[in-house]
Amino acid sequence: MRDILVTLIVFGLLPYVFKRPYIGVLMWVWISVMNPHTQGWGFASTFPFAAIIAGSTLLSLVFTKDAKALPLTPVTGIFIAFVLWMNVTTIFALYPDDAYIQWNKVIKIMLMTFVTLMLIKTKQHVQLLIWVIVASLGYYGVKGGIFTIKSGGGDLVWGPEGTFIGGNNEIALALIMTIPLMHYLQIVSPNKWVRRGMTAAMVLCAVAALGSYSRGALLAIAAMGGFLWLKSRKKAGLGMLAVVAIPPLLAFMPDEWSKRMDTINTYEEDESVQGRFNAWWMAYNLAKDRPLTGGGFEVTMPELFFRYAPNPYDIHAAHSIYFQVLGEHGFIGLALYLLLGFATWRTGSWIIRNTAKRDDYLWAYSLASMIQVSLIGFAVGAAFLSLVYFDVPYYLMAAMVVTRVLVEKDLKEKAALAIIEKRTGAQRQFGNLSPSQSQRIAGDSG
């Protein structure tokens, strides 16, 4: 039944992609983030929905008469440079065959991010994009939260198998990133039931994140929660929700969970943590040996651990976005990745600064603030996960860029209109004067 439902939705919406290409972007985000076909047990689990949607969207992009220029901002410039650099490091990869397989996966995500930047053009498009992300990840948050409550916190929450968020650590981080986006929808929605539903979903996502038993998620949710409170205009309401919800949630979790979290204080004795440190040293030593290009994609190889790791027999993936990109793409790649995050943050700060205390831009102010909160959660939680190519942060980057373009354009138009109205008013006021006097006074007033 689930297979049939996903198939009907995809093929039912495909004709609309050619009329409104942005629908193709929304479908792609839904398929790539939620992976609904993995929730079936039949033909849909292996059916190439993503390829069909991507192909249809690219075809509609070619033939559409709508504006489709890539917004030229510092963020997009750095993003282009980062993608180009990944192509360079692939050419010089230590394991070309393995690197090409990973490159093929990553480049599709990056291509569709560029398509997102080109086709998401309006406030409505941006808000629909956020709704799709929230619905896609919120499904697992609500489901995982209910599961945790029913099991008494005794069983781990996992994501959809075979995806970026399939592991317990990964799904926890994804849900933590979703909570601020839910709060954004709560702020801008005029429907009280949507607002109440978002409150319940936020709590259940937090429960599911705790139910993952992820120590990194605990650190991420603490950072995200604190920043969420600082950024929110409704500090009293959020503070009250935290006071009411957090103590019961922590008390609800079983002793096994508490013991797991307590190992944060004794990380020197934890084999998993030491394995991550070993992988980080391997990535750093590899980058020192190949500072420009790193090792290319797929460097978790026994030979490299024997050459560069303190413990050559403890072979782990990087388990950190920072050391992952350092090992795979060198110091230049790491610099571009960090610069991309910084530029995205600065874009959000520009939006916040120019829309503060203006009700007509409440949506933009709130969205920029909540995306920043979401990215804080990602920056902290992904410090312990190999999620450089997780697509959601790139979609949020695109939403931030498009929002700035919209706000900047609208502010300029309003400023120009105000100048015209001011000059027109001056001309009317001094209409009984000579033409040269009127023009001089109107010009001075402008």
Residue 441: pLDDT above 70?
no
- What is the three-class DSSP state of 346? helix
Residue 108: pLDDT above 90?
yes
Residue 94: pLDDT above 60?
yes
d(CA 223, CA 180): 12
Cα separations (Å) of 441 from 145, 420, 430? 67, 14, 8
Q: Measured in Å, how far apart are the chain's first and last C-alpha atoms?
A: 66
**pLDDT tens, position by position, 147-185:** 999 988 888 899 888 888 999 999 999 999 999 999 999
Cα separations (Å) of 121 from 1, 67, 162, 258? 35, 8, 32, 46
Residue 39: pLDDT above 50?
yes
Query: Which pLDDT band holds residue 46 (cuts at 50, 70, 90)?
Result: confident
- What is the three-class DSSP state of 364? helix
d(CA 62, CA 125): 19
Sequence-separated (6 or more) residues with CB below 8 Å from residue 40: 2, 3, 6
Residue 440: pLDDT above 80?
no
Query: How many other C-beta atoms lie within 10 A of the C-beta of residue 368?
Result: 28
To the nearest whole number, what is the mean pLDDT of the chain? Answer: 89
Residue 73: pLDDT above 90?
yes
Give the range among 76-85, 213-222, 258-267, 406-415 with minimum mean pLDDT.
258-267
Average pLDDT over residues 44-71: 88
**pLDDT tens, position by position, 270-298:** 677 888 899 999 999 999 999 999 999 99
- With a pLDDT cut of 70, the percent of the chain lying above it is 93
Burial environment of residue 331 by CB neighbours within 10 A (0 to 12, 13 to 18, 19 or more):
middle
d(CA 248, CA 196): 20
341 is written with which tokens?
């995050």
What is the length of the chain? Answer: 446
Residue 260: pLDDT above 90?
no
d(CA 391, CA 378): 12
Report whether 115 contacts 57 (CB < 8 A).
Answer: yes
Cα separations (Å) of 127 from 182, 309, 367? 12, 46, 9
- What is the three-class DSSP state of 292? coil
- With a pLDDT cut of 90, the percent of the chain lying above it is 63
- What is the three-class DSSP state of 425? helix
Phi (first) and psi of residue 230, to 5 degrees: -65, -35
Single-letter code of the amino acid located at 205: C
Average pLDDT over residues 36-43: 77
Which pLDDT does position 428 carry in this prediction?
A: 67
**pLDDT tens, position by position, 301-360:** 999 999 999 999 988 888 899 999 999 999 999 999 999 999 999 999 999 999 998 888
**pLDDT tens, position by position, 392-419:** 999 999 999 999 999 999 999 888 888 8
**pLDDT tens, position by position, 190-211:** 999 999 999 999 999 999 999 9
Give the range among 381-385, 398-402, 430-434 with minimum mean pLDDT.
430-434
Residue 2: pLDDT above 70?
yes
Average pLDDT over residues 219-245: 81
Which pLDDT does position 267 carry in this prediction?
A: 63
186 is written with which tokens?
């709560």
Which pLDDT does position 445 carry in this prediction?
A: 46
Query: Which pLDDT band holds residue 446 (cuts at 50, 70, 90)?
Result: very low
**pLDDT tens, position by position, 249-259:** 777 888 888 88
Residue 6: pLDDT above 70?
yes
CA 224-230-235 angle, 5° bins: 110
Nearest-Å Rg of the Cα atoms of the chain is 25
Query: Which pLDDT band holds residue 429 (cuts at 50, 70, 90)?
Result: low
Average pLDDT over residues 229-242: 77
Bigger pLDDT: 323 or 439?
323
